[in-house]
Amino acid sequence: MRAEERLWAFVAASAALLWAVPFAWMAVASLRPGVPPDIASLTPTGPFGLGNFAEAWASGNFPLWYLNTVLMCGGILAVQLVTVSMAGYAFARLRFPGRDLLFSAFLLQLLLIPPLLIVPNLATLVSLHLYDRLLGLMAPYFASAFGVFLMRQTFRAIPRDFEEAAMLDGASIPVPIRHVLLPLARPGLVAFAIVSVTAHWNEFLWPLMAVSSPRNHVLTVGLASFASGAEAGSAWGVVAAGTFFVTAPLLVFFLIFQRRFVSSFVYSGIK
Amino acid sequence: MTEITRRTALGAAIAVPAAAALARGAFAADPVEIDLFFPVPGKLADKMKELIDRFNGQQSAVKATAVYTGSYDDTSLKTRAATKAGKPPGAVIMSANFVREYVINGDVDPFDPIIAKHGKSPSEFFDQFWPALKPNAMIDGKIYGIPYQNSTPLMYYNVAAFTDVGLDPEKPPTTWREWLDAAQKLTKPSGDRWASTFPALTIIAAGGPAPSSCRTAGSTTTTITAAKFTTTPRRHWAHSPCSTRSSTKRRSCRPVSATPMLARAPFLPAGSA
């Protein structure tokens, strides 16, 4: 039994180490200015410095990219939290004709690969005059099949007794949702928020498609515009520093709320 | 992949709005706004914006916006999606390999009317470019792409190694035959020194020019010759073995400094432009 525990601890530690390698690499490369001969080394020699961060920051309009990314992720999440909890409630509690069929259709949508929808979505944006606007960037994500599914399961795990008690006291439908179900479903909402923000923060292809003006660029597209491609091959340090700017907010956020995030994921049963 | 397509970068134009702008000419009250999609990041992107700013400053009929659109493949994806959605860019800088596809799909207009406005016939216009660039840009007798930012294969060679074996550093090889002869002379039988290194696909993608120090004009070498050439060295033991593999699986071979000859496209370190 003890040997088995130790084996699992070893496996977990190895996986964690493997997972940490790219981050360590990024940190190491970003701290070495210039083009050192052992440029890709994980265990480098000095000198170290912060010059790459200054150069990366100066290479792009990071404040604007941060703002656009935060607006995009925040806007998507704000609308999603409303739509997925309402739809989740409807599928979990209400009875209406075609409910199960409609829910199957939602699940089917999870099977579509997003690039398939690029052209139809773009055409819709153009006809709504939302092409090349941040709102257009967010619009396709305002409803989330995954979120609806997750919230439906979360609501179904909550006993009906709580709402029925509120209903007996004369509450109409919105009241128990707001005061009973949503507070109890918070772990599910938090888990969904993490998945949503991470996905949209890191997304590259859709922002590249939906937006053209440099003033609407988000972090991922901005980073690529100065860091990717063969021409940046020797500027690893600057690329690593730029990558650090892109990933840092999420990393810091996760470190601060680590405990709550992990418990949310355990509760809601995803990943 | 980026590096290969980079070799053959051409401008392909979706010239509808641009032609409309020309037709309206200087009488237009408001400038026609067009997007120019481009796939080069970093310092080259800065240069692109500089050029576009200059263009916008010089005339008032067209206002162009330079839009970075990711890699060559992403740029094609974005171009196609934007075109299908009804927002085609005015012009695109993309890999020359894609031009024919756009022509077949009917997504691009030829440049011919614009060139005609400047009083030139298509072939007169193409006289200013190396002949090797023409087949990718002209399709069915019409110009759909304008050679721009083509990567030119260069040959690098080690003067000390040349002198060492009695080759004239002032006269580097100018044909594949001469290259092979030089390579054989430069190779040390003990294996201490391989004579030359080149990623095989580079030369095939380059198609035309034979390696000559910074001079690529006047060559008649074809893609087929280049392809054949890349298969011969193994028999002659003149090349570093790993360098003859497909460049998509390119491994780090010998450092360039130890290689007497190296043929490849120019590679612009981000810090040097």
Give the ipTM: 0.73
Interchain contact B29–A (C-beta under 8 A): no
Least confident of A29-33, B36-40, B60-64, B248-252: B248-252
Cβ of residue B87 closer than 8 Å to a chain A Cβ: yes
- Assess whether pLDDT exceeds 70 at residue A78: yes
| pTM summary value | 0.71
Given an 8 Å threshold on Cβ–Cβ distance, is A208 in contact with B69?
yes
Question: In terms of CA atoms, which chain A residue is nearest residue B266?
Answer: A231
Q: Are residues A203 and A98 in the same domain?
A: yes
Quick check: B84 and A126 CB within 8 A?
A: no
Chain A nearest-CA distance from B9, in A, is 13
Residue A64 contacts B where some CB pair is shorter than 8 Å: no
Q: Kindly determine whether residue B87 and residue A122, on different chains, have CB atoms separated by under 8 Å.
A: yes
Q: What is the DSSP string of A115-153?
A: GGGHHHHHHHHHHTT-TTSHHHHHGGGSS-HHHHHHHHH
A66 and A40 assigned to the same domain = no
A197 and A250 fall within a common domain: yes
**Residue range A7-14: average pLDDT?**
92
Q: Which of B190, B192, B200 is nearest to B161 (CA)?
A: B192
- The DSSP symbol for A178 reads I
Closest CA to B68 of A122, A134, A225: A225
Higher-pLDDT residue of B83, B3? B83
A71-75, A175-179, A267-271, B47-51 — which is least confidently predicted?
A267-271
Section B103-127 average pLDDT: 87
Q: Do A212 and B65 touch (CB under 8 A)?
A: yes
Instruction: State how far the Cα of B42 lies from the Cα of B44, in Å rounded to an integer.
Output: 5
pLDDT at B169: 79
Chain A interface includes B73 (CB < 8 A): no
Q: Is the pLDDT of residue A253 over 80?
A: yes
- Give A34-50 pLDDT, tens digit per residue: 777 776 777 777 778 78
Same domain for A14 and A137, yes or no, is no
Number of CB pairs, chain A paired with chain B, less than 8 A apart: 93
Residue A198, classified by CB atoms within 10 Å of its CB into exposed (0-12), middle (13-18) or buried (19+), is middle
Q: Are residues A86 and A193 in the same domain?
A: yes
Query: Do A62 and A156 lie in a common domain?
Result: yes
Higher pLDDT pick, B253 / A240: A240
pLDDT, greater one: B9 or A139: A139
Task: Give residue A32's domain range.
Answer: 3-49
Residues B21, B95: Cα–Cα separation, whole Å:
25
Residue B15, pLDDT > 50, answer: no
Amino acid at A110: L
Measured in angstroms, the CA of A113 and the nearest CA of chain B are apart by 15
Nearest CA in chain B to A222: B68
What pLDDT score was predicted for residue A151? 92
Per-residue confidence at A150, pLDDT binned at 50, 70, 90? very high
User: What is residue B126's predicted lDDT score, i.e. its pLDDT?
Assistant: 84
**Residues A85, A27: one domain?**
no
Q: Which of A121, A102, A133, A112 is nearest to A213 (CA)?
A: A133
Q: Sorting pLDDT into bands at 50, 70 and 90, what band is B155?
A: low
- Structural domains of chain A, count: 2
- Residue numbers in A near B267 (CB within 8 A): 230, 233
User: What residues of B are in contact with residue A126 (Cβ under 8 Å)?
Assistant: 85-87
- What is the CB-side half-sphere exposure of residue A41 using CA atoms within 13 A? 11
Q: Does one domain contain both A26 and A130?
A: no
B264 CB near a chain A CB, below 8 Å? no
Same domain, A101 and A216: yes
DSSP A7-30: HHHHHHHHHHHHHHHHHHHHHHHH
Out of A86-100, B139-153, B256-270, least confident range: B256-270
Domain identity same for A224 and A200: yes
Q: Do A26 and A85 share a structural domain?
A: no
CA separation, residue B96 to residues A11, B16, B25, B82, B150 (Å): 49, 19, 29, 19, 9
- Same domain, yes or no, for A132 and A26? no
Q: How many CA atoms lie within 13 A of B185 on its CB side?
A: 17
* pLDDT at position A11: 93
CATH code of the domain in which A92 resides = 1.10.3720.10
Kindly tell me the burial class for residue A21, based on how many C-beta atoms sit within 10 Å of its own C-beta (0-12, 13-18, 19 or more).
exposed
- The residue-averaged pLDDT of B142-152 equals 81
**Which residue, among A116, A126, A212, would best test binding to B if mutated, counting the most B CBs under 10 Å from its CB?**
A212
Residue A30 phi/psi, 5° resolution?
A: -70, -20
Q: Which residue of B has its CA nearest to A235?
A: B270
